[in-house]
Chain A
């Protein structure tokens, strides 16, 4: 009988020999890799889970050195006269016991930090992501327990999360603490899932098109063929809660060297899945939160560019806005947020208010919502 090590070598080779054949490895890696790049651009590395410890400090000192962000670049040829923006001062630390107030009545809903893991001297890859989420029932911030990369706050107390080894296979619905409420299996493609405006349904991009899942986890609608969605394919609900929008790419040969160009935005009925109309947008909406209440305006994100206030009537850009994320408020104003500042704009892209954020937030990905 041969020695153990010889047999072990054969056993390892046997195991390796049972590997599956490569199938679509490069294509899947590209899709996931682009998502990683996007996240990296939106998230800078700093601050740790000590956040909770730091943030328990109650309101004490008001920040006096708030840095004013750069003004918005107005794209239109004849910009309307700008009102003088107010510079507000926000509290300098996050009190874990109460919602952190931003501008326009919005509050901070999620704070996330992605670690950098060094795989070789000077070479980093993305490590774990940690989240602190607002429990809207108690008004307290909680540390999300679990290995999740992406967090999408819902209008209510629930969050859609994904991450870990099954990130590409399912979305979980959890509370701010991470208590599991529902598990939704899906074959992902494109951007993050989107909550309906009333929080009762979740729109999930899938390999086959899209799925709309209701509060009980039952599938309301399994979608259309949206294989012509561009590289950066972001779905959104329209404010009426009855329709969803899916970008459509130009019918050109795909090239890995440059991102797809968008031909328009298709609007489908969330009830029947039928195409109801097409909007002449050539840049993708940032998500459900990016639509104005009257649907006349939408926040779009050009590939590699700043968030842009855009007219849905003809797709024309109105103004570029400062900040890495934004949302329309019910009164038609726009809240923009970055890790160092928040700004409030009117529906013409003019700055109304601005404020600096605590230095503790630098490097975090922040999400705002209405309380």
Chain B
């Protein structure tokens, strides 16, 4: 690869690496897995850099989301935590319901299937539109809407499940 393209790749990673890691961590909830995911996506980008460097960010993000969803599928959904396993909201006294709900949501998020989580990350972290999310995930906009709706319903259920426990304390 030409030196100018090498430099471009290095600059791209330096500039966008942290943002990609943030996305990966939001999807995996695990620092090591996030690093692996980003490195894998960047490796694929590097191997095709002369062809994709014009739109590298979109390419890498797409790989990131697709690799995460497909790795999760191959792992036999082992990362999915059943509703029964979702940790209960911390029992320490909370003065702020919002903070408590955010913590519960954070845990609950990691129990969602990878595709639903990917949809939520794109929508809520990256502020992507339904159409952009669909394009990145390689599905129809309708699928994004239904996945997001299912994810929210599940989150509501999971978070709602713990609220009465606290309320009854």
Contacts and interface: CB of A to CB of B under 8 A. Distances in A.
Given A20-B34, A32-B40, A165-B75, A1 B13 contact: no
A1 to B, nearest CB: 5
Contact of A25 (B3, B17, B103, B155): B17
A145 to B, nearest CB: 12
B3 A117 contact: no
A83 interface: no
A137 B77 CA distance: 35
Interface of A: 1-2, 4-5, 7-23, 25-26, 28-37, 40, 117, 119-120, 123, 125-126, 147, 164-165, 168, 255-257
B156 to A, nearest CB: 6
Nearest to A258: B3
Contacts, number: 157
A26 B44 contact: no
A164 B13 contact: no
A119 B62 contact: yes
Given A34-B47, A125-B63, A11 B39 contact: no
A18 B24 CA distance: 11
A13 B54 CA distance: 28
B164 to A, nearest CB: 14
A25 B48 CA distance: 16
Interface in B51-102: 51-52, 58-59, 62-63, 66, 71, 74-75, 97-98, 101-102
B121 interface: yes
B114 interface: no
Interface of B: 1-3, 6, 9-10, 13-14, 17-18, 21-26, 29, 31, 33-36, 38-40, 42-49, 51-52, 58-59, 62-63, 66, 71, 74-75, 97-98, 101-103, 105-106, 109, 120-121, 124-125, 138, 152, 155-156, 159
Given A31-B43, A35-B43, 18 more contacts: A8-B105, A9-B125, A12-B124, A12-B125, A15-B109, A16-B125, A19-B24, A20-B25, A23-B35, A26-B13, A29-B9, A29-B13, A29-B42, A30-B46, A36-B44, A36-B47, A165-B71, A165-B75
A351 B52 CA distance: 42
Contacts of B22: 16-17, 19
Contacts of B138: 119
A51 B6 CA distance: 39
Given A11-B105, A16-B22, A257-B6, A125 B44 contact: yes
B31 A18 contact: yes
B167 to A, nearest CB: 12
Dominant secondary structure at the B interface: helix
A294 to B, nearest CB: 38
A164 B71 CA distance: 8
Contact of B66 (A2, A12, A119): A119
A20 B25 CA distance: 8
Given A16-B22, A119-B63, A257 B2 contact: yes
Dominant secondary structure at the A interface: helix
The 7 A-B residue pairs with the shortest CB-CB distance in the complex, in nearest-first order: A33-B46, A32-B43, A29-B42, A19-B25, A22-B17, A16-B22, A11-B105
Contact of B120 (A12, A32, A35): A12
B46 A20 contact: no
B81 to A, nearest CB: 15
Contact of A32 (B2, B39, B48): B39
Contacts of A7: 98, 101-102, 105
Contacts of A256: 1, 3, 6, 10
A77 B98 CA distance: 81
* Residue from A1, A20, A29, A36 whose CB has the most chain B CB atoms within 10 Å: A29
A20 B125 contact: no
B101 A1 contact: yes
A22 B47 contact: no
Contact of A14 (B38, B59, B102, B152): B102
A256 B51 CA distance: 17
Contact of A33 (B23, B42, B121, B155): B42
A13 B125 contact: yes
B13 A25 contact: yes
Contact of B42 (A2, A9, A25, A35): A25
B147 to A, nearest CB: 14
Contact of B39 (A8, A12, A13, A28): A28
Given A20-B21, A29-B42, A257-B1, A12 B26 contact: yes
B109 A29 contact: no
Given A26-B42, A34-B47, A19 B2 contact: no
A5 B26 contact: no
